[in-house]
Structure 1
Amino acid sequence: MASIHLKNIVKRFGAFVGVEHMSLDIEDEEFLVLLGPSGCGKTTTMRMIAGLEEPSEGEIVIGGEVVNGVDARDRDVAMVFQGYALYPNMTIYENIRFPLRMRRIPAEEHDRRIRQAADMVELGAFLDRKPGALSGGQRQRAALARAVVRQPQVFLMDEPLSNLDAKLRASMRVQIKHMQRHLKVTTVYVTHDQIEAMTLADRIVIMNRGAIQQVGTPDEIYSDPENTFVAGFIGSPPMNLIEGRAEKGRFTAQGIAAPCPAGLSGAVTLGVRPEDCHVGGDHVQGQVYGVEPTGDVTYLTVAAGGRHIEVKAARGFRSGIDLPIGIGFDTGRLYYFGEDGRRIHDPV
C-alpha cells in the first residue's frame, strides 16, 4: 500500500486561497479524516491527492513518488463520492466490473474479484439487479465495492454517507471501518460530520479557512483542543465557550463564576463540556431555557447572562421553562483560551 505526504501545499483559485501552506503526513494503512465546515478546503485537498486538481505550490508524494502532474487515472487511487455515480443501465455486477475493464485487468480474474468485493459489502445476492432496484444504502455499498475491486493503494472518500438517513449512516460507518481494517488500505475520508470523524478515524485533521487547526486522534482532539474553533466544533452538543475575565484565581462573567489558575488575568474564554456540567451548583445562576429528553440523557439549556449553557443532565431530569436553576462545573475539567482563541496550557 502507500503513505501520503503533502509538502507545503497551496491551492489558489484566482485571488482566493482554498488551501494555505498545508503539510501533512498520512501513514501507510492509516484511516485519516479531514473534518471541517463547508468551504474549509477539505474536499479541495482530497481532489489534489486524487489528481483532479493540481496544487498551485508544493508537492504531493504517494508511495514515495512525487505525483504532481501525474493524471488521476495513473495515481492508483480509488474514489467514492457523495453521489453513487453508478451507471443506471448496467447491473451491479457490471458496475463493479467497470474499473477492471478500464484498467485492462485479465478477464479471467474479473468474476472472482467482483464477487469478493460484493461479498465484502454484503451485496452478493444483488449483482444481477440495476441500481434503480436498490435502496440508497445498497447503492452506496455498490459504489464501495466498485472502489474495492480495483485493489488500489489509496482510498479517497468524499462525504459518501451524507445522502443516507441516520440509521443507514450508522450501519455504513461500521461497514466502512471493518472493510478498511480488512483491506489495510490507506484511506482519506472527507466529512463535515463530527460523529463520522470520531467513530471512523485513526487521526482527525480539523480544517478551517483552508488551514489545519489541529491534527490528532479522536481522543486527543476531544480532550485536548488547541483553540476555540476546535473546542466548539467537536462534541454534541459542543463545548460551552464563555467569554469573561480572570483575576486572582477567579473567572467571572455575567451570571457565571468559577475558579481558574492563579496565573490567569485579563480577558479569557472559559470552556466546559456539557457532560462536565451538573444540575445543582453555584457556578452558573440562570433560568431553564429548554429541556430535551432523549431516553438515555436529558439535554438542558440554561439561559445565563445573555448566553446559553448546554448541560447533559440525568435521563430522568425534568423542569418547567423559565424556572431558576443553578449549574455546577467539574472544576478539574475546565479549559481556558486567550483572546487570540488559542488554548492556555500552562498559565503562570
Structure 2
Amino acid sequence: MASIKLNNIVKSYGAFLGVREMTLDIKDEEFLVLLGPSGCGKTTTMRMIAGLEQPTEGEIIIGDEVVTGVDARDRDVAMVFQGYALYPNMSIYENIRFPLRMRGVPKAEQDALIRRAAQMVELGDYLDRKPGALSGGQRQRAALARAVVRQPQVFLMDEPLSNLDAKLRASMRVQIKHLQRQLRVTTVYVTHDQIEAMTLADRIVIMDKGAIQQIGTPDQIYADPANTFVAGFIGQPPMNLIAGIANSGTFAAQGINVACPLGLSGKVTLGIRPEDCSVGGDNMQGMVYGVEPTGDMTYLTVTTGAKQIEVKAARDFRSDIDVPISIGFDPARLYFFDEQGQRLRGKA
C-alpha cells in the first residue's frame, strides 16, 4: 500500500485552469473523497493521479516514487468507473481475470485470486454469467472485483455509484467502505454526492473552480465550515445563509434578529443549519411557505421577505401555508461569514 502526495499541481487547458496549485497529502490506507460540483476539478485531479492526464506543473508521488510522467499502466493503481467498463462478451469470471492476464500472473495462481475477489463482493455464484444478465449493482460489484484482484497500491473510484438507484447506492456504499477496510488500500473517491462523501470518507477535500476550499474529516467539514461555499454545499438541506448587518452585538436582517460577536460590524452573512432552528422563539418572524412530512421529521420552509429558511421540525409538526410563524435559532450553533464568504470567528 502507499501514500500519495500532490505537490503544487496545476492543470491548465490553454488559458483555463482546471486545477489550481493543489498540494495534498493522502495517507497510506486512507479513504479520501474529492467532493464538489461538476467542473470543479475533482475528476481531473484523480485522472492525474492515475496517469491518464499529466499535470502542467507540479509533482505526484505514490509511495516513495515520483510518478509524474509515468504511464498509467506502470503506476500500480486500479480504477473503478461510473460506467462499469465490463466486457459484454466475457463472463464475469473472465472480466475479473482480465487484469491478471495483462499483468502476466501465472495461470495456476489466477483461479484462487479470482474467486477470492468475487467472494469479497458476494458474486461467487455469478461467475459464469455475462454482464448483461446482472443487475446494475451486481455489475458494479464485478467492476470492484476486477479492481480488487489486481491487489494494487491505490484504488481510484470515479463516481462509481452514479448509475444506481437510491437503494442500491446505499447498499453499495456500505460494501465499498467494508471492502476498503478489509483490504487496507489507499483509496481516492470522486463524487458530487455529499451523502457518499460524508458516509465513506476518512477525510473530504471540497473543491470549487479548481481549488481546494477545505480539507477535513466529515465531522469537521460539517461542524466547522471554512466559508459559505462549504456551508452551502454540505448538509441536507444545506445551511441557511442570510445576508444582513452586524452592529453592537446584534445581527439584523428582514424579519431576523440574533445576538452576534461584539467585534462584528457591517455587512456579514449569518449561517444556521435547519436542524438548529426550532418552531417557536424570537429570532425570526415569517410565513409558512411549505410543509413536507417525511416520517421521521418534517421539513418546514419559512419565508421572510424574499428569503426562504429551511427548518427541520418535529415529525408530527403540521401547519397550513401562508400563516405567521416564529422561529428560534440555537445561539451555540450560529456561524458568521464576511463579505468574501470567509468564516468569521469570535466570542459573542
Identify the residue that residue 44 of structure 1 maps to in structure 2. Answer: 44
Question: In 2, are the aligned partners of 1:32 and 1:203 still within 8 Å (CA)?
Answer: yes
Identify the residue that residue 99 of structure 1 maps to in structure 2. Answer: 99
Identify the residue that residue 317 of structure 1 maps to in structure 2. Answer: 317
Q: Map of 1:55-204 to 2, 5 A cutoff?
A: 55-204=55-204
**How many Å apart are 1:347 and its aligned residue?**
6.2
Question: In 2, are the aligned partners of 1:6 and 1:58 still within 8 Å (CA)?
Answer: yes
Please give the per-residue CA displacement for 1:182-223, whole angstroms capped at 9, x wherever unaligned.
000000000000000000000000000000000000000000
Q: Map of 1:238-257 to 2, 5 A cutoff?
A: 238-257=238-257
Please give the per-residue CA displacement for 1:210-252, whole angstroms capped at 9, x wherever unaligned.
0000000000000000000000000000000000000011000
**Partners of 1:292 and 1:94 in 2: how far apart?**
49
**How many Å apart are 1:69 and its aligned residue?**
1.1
**Partners of 1:291 and 1:168 in 2: how far apart?**
28
Identify the residue that residue 27 of structure 1 maps to in structure 2. Answer: 27
Question: In 2, are the aligned partners of 1:288 and 1:325 still within 8 Å (CA)?
Answer: yes
Unaligned segments of structure 2, at least 5 residues? none
Identify the residue that residue 232 of structure 1 maps to in structure 2. Answer: 232
Identify the residue that residue 334 of structure 1 maps to in structure 2. Answer: 334
Give the residue type in structure 2 aligned to 1:290.
G
Identify the residue that residue 270 of structure 1 maps to in structure 2. Answer: 270
**How many Å apart are 1:64 and its aligned residue?**
1.1
Give the residue type in structure 1 aligned to 2:236.
S
SS of residue paired to 1:126: coil
Q: Which runs of 4+ in 1 moved over 4 A?
A: none
**Partners of 1:206 and 1:69 in 2: how far apart?**
26
Please give the per-residue CA displacement for 1:3-29, whole angstroms capped at 9, x wherever unaligned.
000000000111110000000000000
Question: In 2, are the aligned partners of 1:264 and 1:347 still within 8 Å (CA)?
Answer: no
Q: Map of 1:267-306 to 2, 5 A cutoff?
A: 267-306=267-306
Question: In 2, are the aligned partners of 1:286 and 1:325 still within 8 Å (CA)?
Answer: yes
**Partners of 1:226 and 1:305 in 2: how far apart?**
28
SS of residue paired to 1:124: coil
**Partners of 2:104 and 2:318 in 1: how far apart?**
64
Please give the per-residue CA displacement for 1:260-309, whole angstroms capped at 9, x wherever unaligned.
01111100000000000000111111000111100001000001121100
Give the residue type in structure 2 aligned to 1:339.
E
**Partners of 1:347 and 1:323 in 2: how far apart?**
36
Residue identity (%): 79
SS of residue paired to 2:339: coil
**Partners of 1:247 and 1:111 in 2: how far apart?**
72
**Partners of 2:107 and 2:12 in 1: how far apart?**
43
Give the residue type in structure 1 aligned to 2:234.
I
**Partners of 1:101 and 1:323 in 2: how far apart?**
68
TM-score w.r.t. the length of structure 1 is 0.99
SS of residue paired to 1:43: helix
**How many Å apart are 1:345 and its aligned residue?**
1.5
Question: In 2, are the aligned partners of 1:253 and 1:305 still within 8 Å (CA)?
Answer: no
**Partners of 1:22 and 1:196 in 2: how far apart?**
23
**Partners of 1:120 and 1:225 in 2: how far apart?**
37
- Number of matched pairs: 348
**How many Å apart are 1:346 and its aligned residue?**
2.6
Unaligned segments of structure 1, at least 5 residues? none
**Partners of 1:284 and 1:103 in 2: how far apart?**
64
Q: Once structures 1 and 2 are overlaid, which stretch shifts more, 255-264 or 44-53?
A: 255-264
TM-score w.r.t. the length of structure 2 is 0.99
**Partners of 1:187 and 1:340 in 2: how far apart?**
33
Identify the residue that residue 217 of structure 1 maps to in structure 2. Answer: 217
